[in-house]
Structure 1
Amino acid sequence: MAAKILQIENLVTTFDTAEGGFNAVDGVSLYIEEGETLAVVGESGSGKSVTALSIMRLTPPNSSKIEGAIWFEGKNLLTLPDDEIRQIRGNKIAMIFQEPMTSLNPVYSIGSQIGEALITHRGLSHSEAKAETIRLLEKVRIPTAKSRIRDYPHNFSGGMRQRVMIAMALACNPKILIADEPTTALDVTIQAQILDLIKSLQKEEGMSVLFITHDMGVVAEIADRTVVMYNGEAVETGATADIFAHPKHPYTRALLAAVPRLGSMEGRKRPMRFPVVNRVTGECDVPVEVPDTVKITQRPLLEVKGLTKRFDMRSGILSPVKGRVHAVENVSFNVNVGETLALVGESGCGKSTTGRAVLRLSDPDSGTLALNGVDLMKLNKAELRNARRQMQMIFQDPFASLNPRLSIGAAVAEPLLANKLATRSQAREKVADLLRQVGLQPEMAERFPHEFSGGQRQRICIARALSLEPGLIVADEAVSALDVSVKAQVVNLMLDLQARMGLGYLFISHDMGVVERVSHRVAVMYLGEIVEIGSREAIFQNPQHPYTKRLLAAVPVADPTRRPERRAALNGEIKSPVRSPDYVPPVRQFRQVSPGHSVMVSYDELMPN
């Protein structure tokens, strides 16, 4: 048995609130052995991130109190003076945070930020720090590291920024690496690269890893042991394989039941609800296919042909165009009444731009858009405003979508009043009905956005989108930021509303597990182009395009017994969509694999390096 490198005993972290002290972590005890990966899992508010911040003593000193003991190298970290804990923090115990863009200083180059840790903790000279920074960046697989040390955080993609954070964390050869949701905001292929990188570096350096996440697929992929947290307490601890095979606590069973598993829809024709688990008893309902109370018609609700959107790049306002971002290039698809078409791909592939262009929130450069046979491109401002009653959008971040100064009742009623479709008293009645439809209480209408959880806020945004009784809803990463069980509830709600009201969804996502569950058809986007489109069954059971296969191969499998199976190499970076001003896109050729299933055949120059 390996020695324990970190041991936490009865940790209690209390925050001061207006109502008194709140125990965010309540009596947690755990340990990490040398060279092992311990996963701490749970949903938002479970106390897992506060546990990590308590280890690093990064909670606000004036409004929080940490009690218990955290033993490292024979010392209790909670009793050390500030100057001594600073020598441990970032040196012997390093941390990677969830959002690298907020963790990196935007006004300093990444080379100077990594070099600062090397100079401070290891006493290197500037020239030595520069050489070591280049070595670290090469170690985390950043190409042309020597030239990139002068770049700033905004010059890097999300995956590359996370690699920079890992390089910074490894700068002082830490004995423990705390990774707090390091892959949650990343696309599946970038997530796969980061997980593979952490595992490789752990093996090379022999360090221990405390991995914090709510994604059980990631846990199965990387953790030796797992601690499940709920309401500030550690409710279950054990070997990862044992917890997945024989979960004992109801909450653990709830987390595992909410994980979408690729292949679970094989042989099913219609979308399927997620199972709902009682967190108290652990009882799980039987997931059922969504009833076809509204038959999918083959009448196109939305017709998109040759949609193109490019963004000019200039060095100054009056400067000539030096290049163009080809965000969406000659995209065509239909969405039928009562149907969900999923638009999938990684960040930067053009999914969200396509969704915004469909609603003419961003006017396309060319192409045609027709809603119920009406050409949206020919409408003037007043006509477009009327047409938008039939198409609404649900955004990824519900908090940013809601006005913090408006009660949620006012926010849901606003479209009705703005379009003069109801009086104020009629709007109040309509709001109460809409809140009931999305599983909220009518009396909640007087509350403000900050008084709701993330899942509840997303339900409010869905209620607002339904207020005008649209036929089409564009859901732009509408469930990506939600915890697994909340995600299951919101997806089930969307499926039920579709079955009852015949809604057509353009479901934009990079979460292939959810896409398989909710979609009727799938379109795969890469570098602004649709490279494969077909039925959900065709795309998931018989993918043809290399990029589609790459996306599916990157999805973490929630089964620790399959960990030895190495996934396909996914280290290639997505190519840039920036082209010269005189660039003429090639004419693409498509091959029909089966009825309704087409794949691009001229794609060599598109694929990652």
Structure 2
Amino acid sequence: MTSTPVLSVQNLTTSFLIDGEWKSVVRNVSFDVRPGETVAIVGESGSGKSVTSLSIMRLLAPGSSRIEGRIELAGTDLLALPEKEMRGVRGNGASMIFQEPMTSLNPIFTIGRQISEVLTRHKGLSKQEARAQTVRLLEKVRIPNASSRFDDYPHQFSGGMRQRVMIAMALASKPKLLIADEPTTALDVTIQGQILDLIKVLQEEEGMSVLFITHDMGVVAEIADRTIVMYRGEAVESGPTEEIFQHGKHPYTRALLSAVPRLGSMRNHRWPTRFAVVDMKTGETAEPEEIADTVARGRTPVLAVRNLVTRFPVRSGLFARQTGAVHAVENISFDLFQGETLSLVGESGCGKSTTGRSIMRLIEPTGGEVALDGYDVLRLDGIGLRNMRKTIQMIFQDPFSSLNPRMTVGAAIAEPFIKHKLGTAKEAREKTVDLLRKVGLSPDMASRYPHEFSGGQRQRIAIARALSLDPKVIVADESVSALDVSIKAQVCNLLLDLQQSLNLAFLFISHDMAVVERVSHRVAVMYLGEIVEIGPRAAVFENPQHPYTKKLMAAVPVPDPARRGIRRGISSDELKSPVRGMDYLPPKREYREVSAGHLVQMA
């Protein structure tokens, strides 16, 4: 590597105008990115890492933000450039890819046109030359049938393929620097692995530098040569990635590393185990405790699902006749016992969330049987459904969208209790105070509104609301996937504590294998609407049998810098489509028992 950096940031301070005052959110941050190097900026939400990247690209609103310090890209001071010249730098000298590609791609233009526009604007290519170059770029990022997909629109691509399109667009002008801001956070674990591999391979081929922004220490270990740890707007530690992981000095660095769930860490634990609780200021760790077994096995399950089928019609033509169906859930069966956590795992589109919603009749199943604490769920009328939902409640991925922004959190928690006429207004208030304490919040917070809380606190409020009817079963649908690692650990510990004290049964829906390993009694792996493997947590994780289960586990990023040279092998495969024709008959599936309760679908 040459000593001259591609990017040099010196004493970067970024402030925002809030209530007439300038408040700094990034303070005196300095670092270099050398040619061909990958530097990761890591930290939790609010640490200032994304504001740092947006400051470098000068993408913050000029009237309400102020950027101070010095930012040099290949020797050019970006802060001194007029906006017109800065537009020439963006996409040409430095390119950026974001967390959610669908918000970065224009839905009304084809992906080919959007990439070609970069080439015609920055490189002056003709339309024909730009089209040919765009197809080459799409092939480079491993999009199958690139020439035929040139005229497709963003909505016709999966999340992983859309992110590949964004990478192709970012690489169009052969930039010296690629800034990747949480590019894999919203993706399934297997797609995340493919994107990380793709960035590594393209970096080697193009010789570009990468500034990678993330809160995932597993991703940092796999991709970064050097790491900068940010905490509350300041760079608290930086150095070679191996040094940071093995000899991190700052308490926050040690806390981040301690809070990362590691696949395989449950090998010597028989029951679900609390996450290590880490003090982010001191770095001190309270050792995790194993949860006592509370499962009432051998009795009638609180939830019994038999041959559940959920399909959605596909219509086409002038008269919108049904021409096929999405086989979202296909003939699945399982039991859930009181005090047990059964996790449904798999990639987006595998049918796990549809399963949870079908059980609750938020989506109408096509067939099968669901027995819930004595209710025949699929035969219930409106009044019966209302009564049934006292027994089963749901916690969603995004608590902000499930809470009414115009309602105080106290009113939101009390609402189900009042609607179901379970007591007086005074009893509802007492219940709310009790629930807020149970989820680790103070009763005086009841008068606040959802926007006044952090993401982790809002998820605690959503949990309190779900508990207001004293349910026996909770469906937790990706309820911790959007949270920072330390908050995720706190919420998972809360769920485990509540399960033990209230004897709750959890149907835990997730694609995060390390979290699932930690909290589960049993695990069911779903693929294309079917359960392909189910069994006790230890059996599935320590002796996976189905190829898809093995693929899921192999894709999990491991927080070990020694794995940085590893390549999983980039695949251009997408999850197969669950859309079937009208004449499709699902094959009869057979399962073999590998060990007690460990069943695997036979090919």
TM-score interval for Structure 1 and Structure 2 normalised by the shorter chain: over 0.9
Give 1:73 shift: 2.2
Q: Which amino acid aligns with 1:500?
A: S
Secondary structure of 2:91 counterpart = coil
Contact 1:118-1:124 at 8 Å conserved across structures: yes
Secondary structure of 1:26 counterpart = strand
Distance in 2 (alpha carbons) for counterparts of 1:510 and 1:557: 15
Contact 1:294-1:499 at 8 Å conserved across structures: no
1:228 corresponds to 2:229: yes
Distance in 2 (alpha carbons) for counterparts of 1:69 and 1:320: 62
The residue aligned with 2:93 is 92
Alignment of 1:313-328 (within 5 A): 313-315=314-316, 318-328=319-329
Secondary structure of 1:531 counterpart = strand
The residue aligned with 1:520 is 521
Q: Tell me: CA distance 1:406–1:591, structure 2 relative to 1, closer, same or farther (3 Å).
A: same
334-343 or 287-296, which deviates more: 287-296
Give 1:293 shift: 5.8
Give 1:75 shift: 1.9
Contact 1:118-1:129 at 8 Å conserved across structures: yes
Q: Which amino acid aligns with 1:136?
A: L
Contact 1:307-1:328 at 8 Å conserved across structures: yes
Give 1:71 shift: 1.1
1:58 corresponds to 2:59: yes
Distance in 1 (alpha carbons) for counterparts of 2:20 and 2:272: 44
Distance in 2 (alpha carbons) for counterparts of 1:566 and 1:597: 31
Distance in 1 (alpha carbons) for counterparts of 2:397 and 2:90: 34
1:170 corresponds to 2:171: yes
Alignment of 1:274-313 (within 5 A): 274-292=275-293, 298-313=299-314
Alignment of 1:148-297 (within 5 A): 148-292=149-293
The residue aligned with 1:586 is 587
82-91 or 15-24, which deviates more: 15-24
The residue aligned with 1:367 is 368
Per-residue deviation, residues 296-315 of structure 1 (Å, max 9, x unmatched): 66431100000000000112
Contact 1:554-1:570 at 8 Å conserved across structures: no
Q: Which amino acid aligns with 2:561?
A: P
Give 1:380 shift: 1.2
The residue aligned with 1:605 is none
Contact 2:194-2:568 at 8 Å conserved across structures: no
Q: Tell me: CA distance 1:299–1:95, structure 2 relative to 1, closer, same or farther (3 Å).
A: same
Alignment of 1:427-506 (within 5 A): 427-506=428-507
Distance in 1 (alpha carbons) for counterparts of 2:54 and 2:588: 53
Contact 2:112-2:131 at 8 Å conserved across structures: yes
The residue aligned with 1:125 is 126
Secondary structure of 1:352 counterpart = helix
The residue aligned with 1:101 is 102
Give 1:72 shift: 1.6
Distance in 1 (alpha carbons) for counterparts of 2:194 and 2:295: 42
Give 1:317 shift: 8.2
Alignment of 1:557-576 (within 5 A): 557-567=558-568, 570-576=571-577
Give 1:495 shift: 0.4
Q: Which amino acid aligns with 2:154?
A: P
The residue aligned with 2:552 is 551
Contact 2:144-2:572 at 8 Å conserved across structures: no
Contact 1:99-1:182 at 8 Å conserved across structures: yes
Q: Tell me: CA distance 1:19–1:286, structure 2 relative to 1, closer, same or farther (3 Å).
A: farther
Q: Which amino acid aligns with 2:71?
A: I
Q: Which amino acid aligns with 1:328?
A: V
Per-residue deviation, residues 493-528 of structure 1 (Å, max 9, x unmatched): 000000111100000000000000000000000000
The residue aligned with 1:596 is 597
Give 1:53 shift: 0.2
Q: Which amino acid aligns with 2:382?
A: K
Give 1:568 shift: 5.8
1:67 corresponds to 2:68: yes
263-272 or 289-298, which deviates more: 289-298
Q: Which amino acid aligns with 2:338?
A: V
Structure 1's unaligned 5+ residue stretches are 603-609
Per-residue deviation, residues 474-493 of structure 1 (Å, max 9, x unmatched): 00000000000000000000
Contact 2:390-2:471 at 8 Å conserved across structures: yes
Q: Tell me: CA distance 1:471–1:580, structure 2 relative to 1, closer, same or farther (3 Å).
A: same
Secondary structure of 2:211 counterpart = strand
Give 1:564 shift: 3.3
The residue aligned with 1:606 is none
The residue aligned with 1:511 is 512
When normalised by structure 1's length, the TM-score is 0.97
Give 1:21 shift: 2.1
Q: Tell me: CA distance 1:364–1:294, structure 2 relative to 1, closer, same or farther (3 Å).
A: closer
The residue aligned with 2:19 is 18
Distance in 1 (alpha carbons) for counterparts of 2:152 and 2:39: 34
Q: Which amino acid aligns with 1:276?
A: V
Contact 1:404-1:448 at 8 Å conserved across structures: yes
Contact 2:593-2:600 at 8 Å conserved across structures: yes
Distance in 1 (alpha carbons) for counterparts of 2:103 and 2:166: 11
Q: Which amino acid aligns with 1:36?
A: E
Structure 2's unaligned 5+ residue stretches are none
Contact 2:142-2:571 at 8 Å conserved across structures: no
Give 1:572 shift: 2.6
Distance in 2 (alpha carbons) for counterparts of 1:163 and 1:352: 25
Secondary structure of 1:300 counterpart = coil
The residue aligned with 1:76 is 77
Give 1:23 shift: 1.1
Q: Tell me: CA distance 1:297–1:458, structure 2 relative to 1, closer, same or farther (3 Å).
A: farther
Secondary structure of 1:392 counterpart = strand
Contact 1:39-1:219 at 8 Å conserved across structures: yes
Secondary structure of 1:71 counterpart = strand
Give 1:374 shift: 2.4
Give 1:17 shift: 1.2
Contact 1:298-1:337 at 8 Å conserved across structures: no
Contact 2:15-2:26 at 8 Å conserved across structures: yes
The residue aligned with 1:390 is 391
Contact 2:252-2:283 at 8 Å conserved across structures: yes
Secondary structure of 1:324 counterpart = strand
Q: Which amino acid aligns with 1:342?
A: S
Q: Which amino acid aligns with 2:501?
A: R
Give 1:260 shift: 0.7
Residues paired across the two proteins, number = 602
Alignment of 1:413-432 (within 5 A): 413-432=414-433
Contact 1:296-1:338 at 8 Å conserved across structures: no
Distance in 2 (alpha carbons) for counterparts of 1:132 and 1:562: 34
Moved beyond 4 Å, runs of 4+:
293-298, 568-571
Contact 1:340-1:521 at 8 Å conserved across structures: yes
Contact 1:7-1:31 at 8 Å conserved across structures: yes
Contact 1:225-1:238 at 8 Å conserved across structures: yes
Per-residue deviation, residues 370-390 of structure 1 (Å, max 9, x unmatched): 012321112111011101100
Contact 2:294-2:339 at 8 Å conserved across structures: no
Distance in 2 (alpha carbons) for counterparts of 1:311 and 1:529: 15
Per-residue deviation, residues 251-302 of structure 1 (Å, max 9, x unmatched): 1111111111111000211101111111121111111101346756643110
Q: Tell me: CA distance 1:210–1:114, structure 2 relative to 1, closer, same or farther (3 Å).
A: same
Contact 1:438-1:493 at 8 Å conserved across structures: yes
Q: Tell me: CA distance 1:166–1:298, structure 2 relative to 1, closer, same or farther (3 Å).
A: farther
Distance in 2 (alpha carbons) for counterparts of 1:32 and 1:114: 26
Q: Which amino acid aligns with 1:220?
A: A
Q: Which amino acid aligns with 1:304?
A: V
Q: Tell me: CA distance 1:19–1:530, structure 2 relative to 1, closer, same or farther (3 Å).
A: farther
112-121 or 558-567, which deviates more: 558-567
Distance in 1 (alpha carbons) for counterparts of 2:318 and 2:333: 33
Q: Which amino acid aligns with 2:220?
A: V
Contact 2:92-2:175 at 8 Å conserved across structures: yes
Secondary structure of 2:277 counterpart = coil
Q: Which amino acid aligns with 1:158?
A: G
Distance in 2 (alpha carbons) for counterparts of 1:296 and 1:483: 34
